[in-house]
Amino acid sequence: MAEERVNFGSKIGVILATAGSAVGLGNIWRFPYMTGENGGAAFILIYVACVFILGIPCMIGEFLIGRHGASNTARAYTRLAKGSNWRWIGYLEVLTGFLITGYYAVVSGWCLNYIYASIMGELKGDPAYITSYFTAFSNDPIRPVFWTIVIFGITHFIIVHGVRNGIEKASKLMMPTLFILLLVIVVAACLLPGATKGIDFLFKPDFSKVTRDVFLGALGQCFYSLSIGMGCLCTYASYFSRQTNIKTSAIQIGLIDLLVAILAGLMIFPAAFSVGISPDSGPSLIFITLPNVFNQAFLSIPVIGWGVALLFYALLSLAALTSLISLHEVNTVFFYEELHITRKAGAWIVTIACCLIGAICSISIGQKSSMSLFGMDLFDLFDFVTGQLMLPICGLLMCLFVGWVIPKQIVKDELSNWGTLRFSFYKLFLFTMRFVCPLCILAIMLHQFHLI
């Protein structure tokens, strides 16, 4: 079975495609803000520790399940669980991926609209105008749905071309472009007058701000940013060849994700501080605060001024698209393998179903009063249920599964292939999956519900 499966064609394809899944909106709309608010360089140090102590081991765990299972996430777990109830983790991961896809696509669609708006000059105006533009747009029943369908169209197109000709090729093109765009905007932002204040804010370590909340925040961000617990890593790993070194790949992907997050900070803070606007996080950062920053910081620069906003939304759309592709793939491969249909048919099921979920989420924002559950509109509800509930639960179960259930020989084989496995590394990995990661994830969950 492992031999029959399509593989990524090259090492760089493995890294870029998987890093594409990890690098997404989380790197740009959340990490910079959390860093600035939580002690600058002190937060970065904690985050780096989280990535190495927890994030990378969890990635390795998902990779080894995926490569050994050599099939969709649900079946990979089923194979390893040998009939026990542990197999349900795979289904839960696929379901989480499915639910997140629709809502992630809505925000990705917003990014596309903002590309269009910056080309058409619709984003020029005072802060009140920018806020009302965003409110009017996100509450509109039609336009966001249109853009959600457009982004699904692009994703669908890439997915139906398969693993090598679709996902790998697209990632090889999009990820380097993303880096170039990011670097161009970072340079433009850092050259602005007064930019050093922003750089200081981002990097000046302030250990007095480091509290328990900061630790838990860094942990949660690390899981989300590395796409852990949603079947994406497991699915992509099922396309790794036997030659792929799981350990080094996980380290490289973790570092790329971290680099993009820090560069995003170097793009946002210098620009914001140079015009005296204090940045916040989430949708309001990228769709309200930043258009204002761009207007005030760059618009006076002749010729290139208006282009910075355009480049920024292009960057954001690329980051979102590569993550969306990985989410789509988790479900596509699930449907086509489990229902024994073609890849194309599987992709259509996902595209249509997720377009519907996306449309409902999007419309619910404008219809808060009539379409809400537990006091949240469906958009926020999806965000909460998937991001804060299902994701940590899947992550926790995955660690326990790798640490306690999978036969040790399989873990050893997967880790040692194409490289000697040092005994100390294996023991450390097992200890992390058995105790360290589960306890940390449990702490994040209890903290989210204000229980600690």
- 232 near ligand PHE (CB under 6 A): yes
Minimum Å gap between C-beta 320 and ligand PHE is 7
CB of 426 within 8 A of CB of 198? no
Minimum Å gap between C-beta 227 and ligand PHE is 4
Residue span binding ligand PHE (CB under 6 A) among the ranges 17-25, 161-169, 352-360, 398-406 = 17-25
Binding flags for ligand PHE, 320-339, as an x/- string (CB under 6 A): ---x--xx------------
Report the DSSP beta bridge partners of residue 27.
none
Q: How far is CA 430 from CA 68, 400, 444, in A?
A: 17, 10, 21
Minimum Å gap between C-beta 27 and ligand PHE is 5
- 106 near ligand PHE (CB under 6 A): no
Distance between CA atoms of residues 403 and 425, nearest Å? 14
- 54 near ligand PHE (CB under 6 A): no
Minimum Å gap between C-beta 414 and ligand PHE is 22
- 359 near ligand PHE (CB under 6 A): no
Residue span binding ligand PHE (CB under 6 A) among the ranges 22-30, 41-49, 306-314, 437-445 = 22-30
Minimum Å gap between C-beta 20 and ligand PHE is 9
- 26 near ligand PHE (CB under 6 A): yes
Residue span binding ligand PHE (CB under 6 A) among the ranges 157-165, 220-228, 342-350, 405-413 = 220-228
Distance between CA atoms of residues 87 and 233, nearest Å? 17
- 227 near ligand PHE (CB under 6 A): yes
- 225 near ligand PHE (CB under 6 A): yes
| Residue keyed to tokens 């229902």 | 339
For the CA atoms of 365, 363, 94, 64, what is the dihedral angle to 10 degrees?
-60
Minimum Å gap between C-beta 104 and ligand PHE is 7
Minimum Å gap between C-beta 150 and ligand PHE is 19
Closer of 13 and 24 to ligand PHE (Cβ): 24
Minimum Å gap between C-beta 230 and ligand PHE is 4
Tell me which of 14, 16, 22, 262 binds ligand PHE, using CB under 6 A: 22
- 25 near ligand PHE (CB under 6 A): yes
Residue span binding ligand PHE (CB under 6 A) among the ranges 150-158, 224-232, 236-244, 368-376 = 224-232
- 102 near ligand PHE (CB under 6 A): no
Minimum Å gap between C-beta 228 and ligand PHE is 7
Tell me which residues touch ligand PHE (CB under 6 A).
Answer: 21-22, 24-27, 224-225, 227, 230, 232, 323, 326-327
